[in-house]
Amino acid sequence: MEEAPQRTTAFRVALSLMAIVALVLGTGCGSGDNGSSKVAEEAGCEDVSAPEPKDVTLPEPKQTVKPGEKLTAVVKTSCGTFEIALDTKTAPKTTNSFAYLAREGFYDGLDFNKIVPGLLVQGGDPAGDGTGNAGYTITEPPPADTKYTKGVVAMAREFEEPSGQSGSQFFVVTSLEAGYPPEYALVGEVSKNYPVVKRISELISPKTGEEPKIPVLIEEVTIEKG
């Protein structure tokens, strides 16, 4: 099986140390750096700075999403905007949590911090090191026949956590079939502008490990009915 989407990622710690060293040496790659500006321009993205880590604690939401209700998450990023049709029928609790976080502005200003080439892009971590969360978790195991195919959006979890447990971190599958077991809570599927996800997925190089070559911000996530 390919690498699974976990919340805790050791590579972020190592890369953070590398970033500190680069900053001390005056070779950081924040917004305004000529190298990052060129990469952003060539990729069709905005040249932005990486977000500062933040500690967020929200109460677990009340269930307001109705099973089968038609909801769309509009995800505006520094590389473009794409939409997610929320699967409220299969995952009413998970989509309710995702919609709640979006409406609270939780995702605004965070980033896509992890890219696994040919597999997924992942974001929604307020800590910026792979360990962040919104202050609560919910559990909603997906159906046994769930397949994580191209464009499917699901929630990241740790290996030791129960099937279907999730916090705030989510991923978008970029492979035809990720090959994961049905243990990752479903959010929905990209319904519009998948090329934006593809653009983000290509911002990777051997030098950056699983971290994008340039910061990719989640500028805003809004929830629309229908």
Summarize the confidence of residues 106-124 as an average pLDDT. Answer: 96
Estimate to the nearest angstrom the gap between the alpha carbon of 111 and the chain centroid. 7
Is 90 exceeded by the pLDDT of residue 13?
no
Which pLDDT score, from 0 to 100, does residue 7 have? 62
Per-residue confidence band for 1, with pLDDT thresholds at 50, 70 and 90? very low
Which pLDDT score, from 0 to 100, does residue 35 have? 73
Per-residue confidence band for 3, with pLDDT thresholds at 50, 70 and 90? low
Report CA-CA distances (Å) from 83 to 57, 75, 118, 152. 26, 6, 20, 12
Q: Is residue 2 part of a domain?
A: no
Q: Which of 15-24, 139-148, 191-200, 207-216 has the lowest mean pLDDT?
A: 15-24
What's 69's domain CATH number? 2.40.100.10
Using alpha carbons only, what angle is made at residue 81 by residues 122 and 203, rounded to the nearest 5 degrees? Answer: 45
Per-residue confidence band for 20, with pLDDT thresholds at 50, 70 and 90? very low
Which pLDDT score, from 0 to 100, does residue 29 have? 40
Three-class DSSP category at 96: helix
Residue 209 CB burial class (10 angstroms; 0-12, 13-18, ≥19): middle
Measured over the CA atoms of residue 19, residue 25, residue 31 and residue 35, the dihedral's sign is: negative
Q: Is residue 36 part of a domain?
A: yes
DSSP tally for the chain: helices H, then strands E: 4, 10
pTM across the whole model: 0.86
Rounded Cα distance, 36 and 28, in Å: 10
Q: Is residue 4 part of a domain?
A: no
Percent of the chain residues past pLDDT 70, beyond the cut? 85
Number of domains in the chain: 1
Q: Is residue 5 part of a domain?
A: no
Residues spanned by the domain of 39: 10-225
Measured over the CA atoms of residue 181, residue 184, residue 186 and residue 190, the dihedral's sign is: negative
Summarize the confidence of residues 204-210 as an average pLDDT. Answer: 78
Report CA-CA distances (Å) from 74 to 37, 219, 225. 26, 11, 11
Q: Is residue 3 part of a domain?
A: no
CA atoms within 13 A on the CB side of 136: 14
CB 191 within 8 A of CB 79: no
